[in-house]
Structure 1
Amino acid sequence: MGWKLFKHAFQMVTGNLHAALRATLVPMLILAGMFVLIIMGWDQSLGQPSPVLLFLVPAILIMCIVLFPLIAITWHRYVLKEEFPRWIPRLGDKRIGAYFWTSVLIGLILMIPSMIISTIVSALFWASLEEAALNGQQDILQFSISGVLAGILMGTLAGFLWMRCALCLPAIALNEDENFGIGASWSKTSGVSKDVLVFAFFLAVLNVAASFVPIMIGQVVVRDILSIVINWFTFMIGLSALTTLYGHLVEKRPLID
Structure 2
Amino acid sequence: MTGWKLFLHSVSMVQRNAPQLLQIFLVPGLIVVAIAYAMLAGVPNDAELEGLGPDPATVVEIILRIVGIWLAIGVICAWTAVSWHRYVLLEEHPQGWIPAFRAKEALWYFLRLLQLVVIGSVVYGVAMFVGIALISGMGMVGLAFLLVIATLIAVFMYRLVLILPAAALGKPIGVGESLELTTGAFGTLFVLALCLFGLQLLSELILYLLIDAVLISTVLQLIFSVGLAVLNISALTTLYGYYVEKRPI
TM range (shorter): 0.7 to 0.9
Kindly state the Cα deviation for residue 44 of structure 1 after the two structures are TM-superposed: 6.2
Q: 5+ residue gaps in structure 1?
A: 132-148
Q: Which residue, 214, 218, 223 being the options, matches 1:224?
A: 218
The whole-number CA distance in structure 1 between the counterparts of 2:34 and 2:135 is 38
Helix, strand or coil: the match of 2:171? Answer: coil
Residue 31 of structure 2 corresponds to 30
| CA deviation string 1:51-107 (max 9, x = no partner) | 997985454333223101111111111110111234213345211111111111122
8 Å CA contact 1:78, 1:84 repeated in 2:
yes
Does structure 1 residue 106 correspond to structure 2 residue 100? no
Residue equivalent to 2:193: 200
Structure 1 CA distance for aligned equivalents of residues 138 and 223 of structure 2: 34
Matched letter for residue 29 of structure 2:
M
State the TM-score, normalized to the length of structure 2. Answer: 0.79
Q: Measured at CA, do residues 127 and 164 of structure 1 come closer, stay the same or move farther in structure 2, by a change above 3 Å? A: same
Residue in structure 2 matched with residue 40 of structure 1 by the alignment: 41
Residue 88 of structure 1 pairs with residue 102 of structure 2: no
After superposition, where does 1:157-168 map in structure 2 within 5 Å? 157=152, 159-168=154-163
CA distance in 1, matches of 2:135, 2:207: 24
Aligned partners of 2:79 and 2:102 also within 8 Å: no
Please name the residue that 1:71 is paired with.
Answer: 80
* Residue 146 of structure 1: aligned partner: none
Give the aligned residue type for 1:32.
V
Aligned partners of 2:217, 2:138: CA distance in 1, in Å? 32
- In the other structure, the counterpart of 2:54 is none
CA contact (8 A) 1:41 1:52 kept: no
Alignment size in residue pairs:
235
Contact 1:76–1:173 (Cα < 8 Å) also in 2: yes
Q: State whether structure 2 residue 14 is matched by structure 1 residue 13.
A: yes
Deviation at 1:121, TM superposition (A): 7.0
Partner of 2:247: 253
The counterpart of 1:236, out of the listed 219, 225, 230, is 230
Q: What letter corresponds to residue 16 of structure 1 in structure 2?
A: N
The farther-off stretch of 186-195 and 121-130 is 121-130
> Secondary structure at the residue paired with 1:165?
coil
Partner SS for 2:185: helix
Identity of aligned residues (%): 30
Residue pair 1:110, 1:162 contacting (<8 A) in 2 also: yes
1:211 matched residue in structure 2: 204
Equivalent-residue separation in structure 1 for 2:85 and 2:108 (angstroms): 15
Corresponding residue number in structure 2 for 1:143: none
Unaligned runs of 5+ residues in structure 2 are: 50-57
Residues 1:244 and 1:130: Cα distance change in structure 2 (over 3 Å): closer
Shift of 1:154: 8.4
For residues 250 and 191 of structure 1, the distance between their equivalents in structure 2, rounded to whole angstroms, comes to 14
CA distance in 1 between partners of 2:46 and 2:112 (Å) = 43
Contact kept, 8 Å, 2:124 with 2:153, in 1: the verdict is yes
Map Cα deviations across residues 180-230 of structure 1 (whole Å, 9 max, x no partner). Answer: 211100110113221011111111111122112112222323222211211
Hey, what does 1:142 align to over in structure 2? none
In the superposition, relative to structure 1, how do residues 129 and 29 fare at CA in structure 2: closer, same or farther (>3 Å)? farther
CA RMSD of aligned residues (A): 3.4
- Cα distance in 2 for partners of 1:5, 1:164 equals 14
Aligned counterparts of 2:196 and 2:151: Cα–Cα separation in 1: 7
Whole-angstrom CA distance in 2 between matches of 1:202 and 1:123: 30
Q: TM-score, normalised by structure 1?
A: 0.77
